[in-house]
């Protein structure tokens, strides 16, 4: 098979042996794979793949057709359309996926949309509802709302009956995010629109002080992105006075049980909303595997709305 391959801090398309499915695994012919910030970090030498995942093939999410099954598989059969969050290896022609991590592709979704769905919607759903316990009627602030996870979080918050404020730095993307149902503001306007019950932090430590000041009593801050810095000062007195909680999370390195639990929640609570048209995956651009470096360059360029996907 061909795959995007990390070689000395850069990407090349190289040939690899075809993988063979083991116990409980599916062999998936990949039709689309989403590109995420973590992939850029991995290519530069950071954020290595967890044990058991290809160390030199990036890609955290994929969609495709099952073309082989290992012993003991029961959930999917050959020919099934599936998608999944994986530890790595998605930007290739073939990949192995444990059947418990896999989800069915909702009817009506294109391969490009399906390939950009699993990581961002699972991450956003886990952060907002499992961790931050967002409730109907609460006020939600999403930083970095024009990206993949941000646009997913905005849609999930609106669908759950929350009042959503979206922080977007690029004015050219304000109308796109507003179309998802949020009130869109620039980062310097965030404080004036509070207080917030839940803040989803996708940008980094630069927002720490503003977040704490804008948080309501009993509020929760979920940190799942640090692109604008990972270190900063926290006013613990303010955190205590507001009886607030701040926590961080990653999805990639969780054990199979944790990923399977998150996938089942998305499968039951999120995927049905795609069939009704209440949720969708904005696709900014799609690139063939041969143009994987161009896809990464487009991601780095910024000013995008939604997902960039690679289509082997």
- DSSP collapsed to 3 states, 61-123: EEEEEEEEECCCCCCCCCCCEEEEECCCCCCECEEEEECCCEEECCCCCCHHHHHCCHHHHHH
Domains and CATH numbers, the chain: 2-117+252-311 (3.90.180.10), 120-248 (3.90.180.10)
Is pLDDT of 118 > 90? yes
> Is residue 263 a contact partner of residue 103, using CB atoms and an 8 Å limit?
yes
CA-to-CA distance for 55 and 75, rounded, in angstroms? 27
pLDDT tens digit string along 15-41? 999 999 999 999 999 999 999 999 999
Is pLDDT of 228 > 90? no
pTM of the model: 0.95
> Is residue 145 a contact partner of residue 184, using CB atoms and an 8 Å limit?
yes
Tokens of 256: 């199979």
Report residue 253's pLDDT band, with 50, 70 and 90 as the boundaries: confident
Is pLDDT of 229 > 90? no
pLDDT at residue 264, as a whole number: 98
> Is residue 125 a contact partner of residue 68, using CB atoms and an 8 Å limit?
no
Q: 10 Å Cβ neighbour count for 178?
A: 15
CA-to-CA distance for 171 and 118, rounded, in angstroms? 27
pLDDT at residue 227, as a whole number: 81
């Amino acid at each position: 098979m061909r795959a995007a391959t990390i070689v000395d801090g850069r990407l090349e398309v190289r040939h690899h042996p075809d993988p063979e499915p083991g116990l409980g695994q599916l062999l998936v012919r990949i039709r689309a794979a989403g590109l995420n910030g973590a992939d850029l970090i991995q290519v530069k030498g950071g954020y290595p793949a967890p044990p058991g995942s290809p160390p030199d093939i990036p890609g955290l999410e994929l969609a495709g057709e099952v073309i082989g099954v290992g012993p003991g598989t029961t959930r999917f059969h050959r020919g099934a359309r599936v998608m999944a969050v994986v530890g790595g290896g998605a930007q290739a022609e073939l990949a192995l996926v444990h059947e418990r991590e896999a989800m069915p592709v909702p009817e009506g979704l294109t391969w490009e949309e399906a390939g950009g769905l699993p990581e961002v919607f699972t991450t956003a759903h886990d952060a907002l509802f499992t961790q931050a316990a967002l409730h109907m009627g609460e006020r939600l602030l999403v930083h970095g709302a024009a990206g993949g996870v941000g646009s997913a979080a905005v849609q999930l918050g609106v669908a759950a009956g929350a009042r959503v404020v979206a922080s977007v730095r690029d004015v050219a993307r304000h109308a796109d995010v507003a179309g998802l149902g949020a009130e869109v503001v620039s980062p310097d306007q965030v404080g004036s629109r509070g207080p917030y019950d839940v803040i989803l932090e996708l940008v980094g430590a630069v927002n720490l002080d503003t977040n704490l000041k804008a948080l309501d009593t009993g509020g929760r801050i979920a940190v799942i992105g640090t692109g604008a810095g990972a270190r900063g000062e926290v006013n613990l007195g303010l955190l205590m006075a507001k009886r607030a909680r701040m926590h961080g999370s990653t999805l990639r390195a969780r054990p199979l049980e944790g990923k399977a639990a998150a996938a089942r929640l998305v499968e039951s609570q999120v995927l049905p909303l795609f069939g009704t048209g209440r949720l969708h995956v904005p696709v900014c651009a799609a690139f063939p595997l041969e143009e994987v470096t161009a896809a990464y360059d487009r991601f780095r360029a910024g000013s995008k709305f939604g997902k960039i996907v690679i289509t082997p």
